[in-house]
Structure 1
Amino acid sequence: MITNSFIERAKKYVRLSNDHDLSGIKCLFADDATYHSEYFGTYQGSDAIHAMMTSFFARFPDAHWEITEYRNNKQNGAEFTFVMTGTDISTGEPVRRHGLERIYFTSTGLIQHIAVCKPEQ
């Protein structure tokens, strides 16, 4: 797979996330994908990831990610720093989170793994 397509695929994932398009997002993941977030934990399999995202968007119904630059990570993927904003409906409080996200793809272009890291302190 050409490395520029990793960036295009990462952009598509972020665009679908900003649109809260859960069915579109689910189609991007390999069945045996994994997801690890320093904010929300580890999930294995596309069904578990989808359930986590469904819960996430219910809790943050206005979640939005701002990305300034996408980079190839030289390991079959792309990475980017982000600022996520939204409102936590469980508290009514606004949320603003910074982080680094790395997305790794299969040879067929599906998401194999996502790692979401908190910014270095």
Structure 2
Amino acid sequence: MTTNLFIERAKKYVTLSNDHDLARIKCLFADDATYHSDYFGTYHGSDAIHTMMTSFFARFPDAYWEVPEYRDNGQNGIEFAFVMTGTDVSTGEPVTRHGLERIYFTSTGLIQHIAVYKPA
């Protein structure tokens, strides 16, 4: 796959995340995908990732990611800085999180791994 296709797939993932479309997000992941977030931990397998995302969107029902630019990370993937905003329903407080996300793809274009890092 080419960098442009990786960027298109990463943009689709962010768009579906902003739409909170969990069914279509799940289809983007390889069955054995992994997900690590400095904010929420590590998950193995698309079912575990889907369960985590379901819980995340229940906690932040208005979550939204701003992504100004997508870059090739040179390792079959894309990286981007983001700002996530939303309301934590457990506290009623607004939340703003900055971070760096890296998405790695299989040769067929499915998401193999996502890594989310807090800013340095």
Please confirm whether the aligned pair reaches a TM-score higher than 0.5, indicating the same fold.
Answer: yes
Equivalent-residue separation in structure 2 for 1:86 and 1:24 (angstroms): 21
CA shift, 1:50, in A, is 0.0
Q: State yes or no: 1:86 paired with 2:86.
A: yes
TM-score, scaled to structure 2 = 0.99
Equivalent-residue separation in structure 1 for 2:4 and 2:75 (angstroms): 13
Equivalent-residue separation in structure 1 for 2:81 and 2:2 (angstroms): 22
Q: Which runs of 5+ in 2 are unaligned?
A: none
Paired position in structure 1 for 2:101 = 101
Equivalent-residue separation in structure 1 for 2:60 and 2:3 (angstroms): 32
SS in 1 for 2:30: strand
Paired position in structure 2 for 1:49 = 49
SS in 1 for 2:85: strand
SS in 2 for 1:108: coil
Q: Which runs of 5+ in 1 are unaligned?
A: none
Which residue type is aligned with residue 13 of structure 1? Y
CA shift, 1:3, in A, is 1.4
1:52-94 CA distance string (max 9 Å, x none): 0000000000000000000011100100000000000000000
RMSD after superposition: 0.3
Paired position in structure 1 for 2:63 = 63
Q: How many residues are matched?
A: 120
Equivalent-residue separation in structure 1 for 2:21 and 2:110 (angstroms): 17
Equivalent-residue separation in structure 2 for 1:22 and 1:119 (angstroms): 26
Identity in percent? 84
